[in-house]
Amino acid sequence: MANPGWEQARERYAAEGVDAEAALKALYGVPVSLNCWQGDDVGGFEKAGAGPLDGGGLKATGNYPGRARNPVELRADMEKALSLVPGRHRVNLHAIYGEFGGKPVDRDAIRREHFEGWVEWAKARRLYGLDFNATLFAHPKASSGYTLSDRDAGIRGFWVEHVRKCREIGAWMGGKFDNPCIHNLWIPDGSKDATSDRAGYRARLVESLDAIYAGTGHGAMLKDAVEPKLFGIGSESFVVGSHEFYLAYAVSRKLMPCLDMGHFHPTESVADKLSAILPFTSEILVHASRGVRWDSDHVAIFDDGLRDLAAEAVRTGKLERIHLALDYFDASINRVAAWVVGMRATLKSVLLALLEPHKRILGLEAAGDLAGRMALEESLKTMPFGSVWEEYCARMGVPPDGAWMDSVRAYEKAVLGKRG
């Protein structure tokens, strides 16, 4: 069906010096990594019939029916979500989502074969690639609240080996797609109350990280990221891997810093951090998430925070160096819908940023015409952005806003509602 508003929108943007057609082409080249753990409430498949994980700073709230119980169901749900999202994208896996055949496989013993099914599925569905995460939570050797910074050398060694194995698997995944896999590392290490050993924990974490990354490169098919956090459940007073710690570590070791939008103080601007960090690092990983009063991993929506971040990413002129992924889990609503909302919100934010006449705005600012800049920015808020997004959805063969939820409801009735 023709989009009657597209031509008018294209002309309106052209009058502002913006090529809407070029913006759509650029958007197609922006893959977003879909987080597998939204589909089963961070449960994983280490044990048959296992429920959602709880511990290590994580908790999925809610009990909406239809949670994926195995890899087949999870992949079916992800396929449904991706069928409602325009563009070509990636999928992000945690180590606990391997296919272990019902056999006990501890985390320091995972191998490529446990993820062959995921690679075959992703290639068959022409995904852009796979990303990977070590899983250092919800495990007996994480029960102290510490992993890579634990006082026990044996505990640290176990987790060092786990991350090494995960990086090997990630490099193999990247090679299968001839497209680098991003391996991201987040650990739950911290304390509920104050500690007198901040320096000790951080020294041990540096030692463990150096054992993982030093001299263990995996070529061009693996990119490493490290993810900080402000606080978590059980680590309200102290987090070993704070923003300052991991930013300094990433820059000094030439790794990629990960900025999770829910891992900072509510008044902090994550968008502001992009241009502050990019001069010192080659790439940045961004996790689209939404904190509500605290780091609560709410579904990403088309809000000011996400729009500001996308705008800054485009304004830097280095969008190709900023990798976008989802990181949230909401068990209180339809999980497939949660994926679709977050993916579409992230893409809409990028498209809106691509439709900004940035050079013209810069020219007004450089000329000192700040009133003119403000007036232009205000006028952009009523531009027919929705018609451009609708055109992109039509070209990609997915429903526009206001129509895709019917498909999710039908899938819920036919598939999700029949799960025990």
Both tokens of residue 296? 């609560």
CA distances from 333 to 32, 234, 274, 286, 338 (A): 22, 25, 32, 24, 7
Residue of 77, 150, 224, 295 marked active site = 295
Q: Which of 41, 260, 283, 390 is catalytic?
A: 260
**Cβ–Cβ under 8 Å, residues 129 and 171:** no
Whether 54 is catalytic is: no
- Among residues 37, 118, 172, 186, the one annotated as catalytic is 186
Q: How many alpha carbons lie under 13 Å from residue 413 in its C-beta half-sphere?
A: 6
Q: Which among 131, 297, 312, 356 is annotated as catalytic?
A: 297
227 as an active site residue: the answer is: yes
Catalytic residue among 40, 46, 224, 227: 227
The residue from 41, 131, 312, 327 that is catalytic is 327
C-alpha separations of 367 from 98, 361, 372, 376 in Å: 57, 10, 10, 14
Burial readout 162-198 (b: 16 or more C-beta within 10 A, e: otherwise): bbbbbbbbbbbbbbbbebbbbbbbbbbbbbeeeeeee
* 3-class secondary structure, 58: strand
Question: Is 389 a known active-site residue?
Answer: no
Q: Could you confirm whether 116 is annotated as catalytic?
A: no
DSSP code, position 93: E
* Residue found under tokens 């820059």: 251
Query: Would you call 152 a catalytic residue per the annotation?
Result: no
Catalytic residue among 59, 218, 229, 273: 229
- Whether 260 is catalytic: yes
Residue of 263, 273, 323, 348 with catalytic role: 263
Q: Which of 59, 183, 287, 348 is catalytic?
A: 287
Look up 178 and say whether it is catalytic: no
State how far the Cα of 233 lies from the Cα of 30, in Å rounded to an integer: 33
Kindly list the catalytic residues.
Answer: 186, 227, 229, 260, 263, 287, 295, 297, 327
